[in-house]
Amino acid sequence: MFSILQASGQSPENSMLLAEIGAALLVLGIVAFIANKLKFSVVPLYLLIGLAIGEGGVVPLSLSEEFLNTGAQIGAIMLLLLLGLEYSAYDLAKAFQDRKSAGLIDFVANATPGFVLGWLLGWGLGGALALAGITYVSSSGIAAQLIKEMGWRRSEVSKRAIGVLVFEDLALAPYLPLLTSIVLGVSAVSGIISVSLALAITGLVILVSFRGTAKWSKILDPNEPGGLLLTVFGAALLAAGLADLVGFSGVVAAFLIGLLLTGEVAETARARLSPIRDIFSAIFFLFFGITTNPADLPAVLPLALLLTAFGIAGKYLVGWWVTRDLSDPMSAWRATGFLIARGEFSMVIAALAAPIVLGIQLQALTLAYVILTAFAASVVLRFSRSQLDRR
């Protein structure tokens, strides 16, 4: 170990690389503090920093591509793992039952424009399906951050918006393997088998989650948080790696690992894993910005603005539907504000599909779309903030 450290210290290149990575993370931390003070989503700021320090940016840095790529993969896994830990099978079943009409409206209003535009632009079935997912799925991470920052955790509007978000997150389980099958160009039979396998695995995990809570609590002791942290984190990485090897979505596998754990075990795991999630998700957003050339953005900006307009209109329809029985006319706009932002899941979809379907074009479009919708969400919530009853 000493010889490794000594060798590293004698290499100017390694020392400079380490310093650049540390400087990038330091800037991300400072930006996170500033965003928290301004009560603004930090995700678009992370993306802008990535654009600034990537190739073609204002201050390009030669950061380790291997480090950032691995960190970004872990970030995507952590985002889905923590999402699974947030919900139990009962939560998902109840959300599906309570919000199935809103979920259907949400799907039609927000996935359809993306699919139609992708198809009209000649991107094929894979590109159209990818763009449909990008425009459909809201960012649970940004929505949760905005709810916390605005002090609206206990409002009825936020509860209803969260129900819609849960419905969307549940739809990711069959969608991601379906998208993977299409963009990889597998046969129809193989695609059907892959999707059927995904649905079967998801159903099995939900069934085990319903019936096996007490058994998991006995195996994983929440009073030993260090062991729990290593076990859950290691299981998620192992499941994601093995899933990728057999053609199943690694991030969905991490989500299912989180879904298996409920109660005190899930709460303790969330508390321990949240700081790690924040670090690697920041690297994920940074990596996405770095790998996008700013020169590609002007070409996709008109389409990103069009998608943003469709996205705001579609989410407003959903917000109005879930709050139509409330007396406050601003409730629909508040729910809309929670649902507008696209973020981590849109970028996971773009990262999955872009190298095979559209190259950098889809990635640049998604980055511009995420930045625009995140800013729009913050503006809408600030607009509706003054009359909110925070009880």
pLDDT tens digit sequence for 155-211? 778 778 877 887 787 777 677 777 777 766 655 556 566 666 666 666 666 666 656
Predicted pLDDT of residue 98: 66
Tell me the average pLDDT of the chain: 76
What is the DSSP code string of 35-94?
HHHHT--SHHHHHHHHHHHSTTSSS-----HHHHHHHHHHHHHHHHHHHHHH--HHHHHH
**Residue 318, pLDDT above cutoff 90:** yes
What letter represents residue 17's amino acid? Answer: L
pLDDT tens digit sequence for 47-79? 888 888 777 667 766 666 666 777 777 877 887
| Average pLDDT of the segment spanning 368-382 | 86
The Cα 31–Cα 26 span in angstroms is 9
Residue labelled with tokens 């409730």: 331
Residue 328, SS3 per DSSP: coil
What is the band of 2 on the pLDDT scale with cuts at 50, 70, 90? very low
CA-CA-CA-CA torsion sign (215, 202, 167, 139)? positive
**Strand ranges for the chain from DSSP E:** none
**Residue 391, pLDDT above cutoff 60:** no
**Ranges 156-160, 370-374, 379-383, most confident:** 370-374
- Look up the pTM and report it: 0.74
**Residue 212, pLDDT above cutoff 60:** no
Distance of CA 29 to the CA centre of its chain: 20
Residue 389, SS3 per DSSP: coil
151: left (phi > 0), else alpha (psi -120 to 50), else beta?
A: left
Buried b (16+ CB within 10 A) or exposed e, 275-289: ebbbbbbbbbbbbbb
Where is average pLDDT lowest: 52-56, 294-298, 309-313, 355-359?
355-359
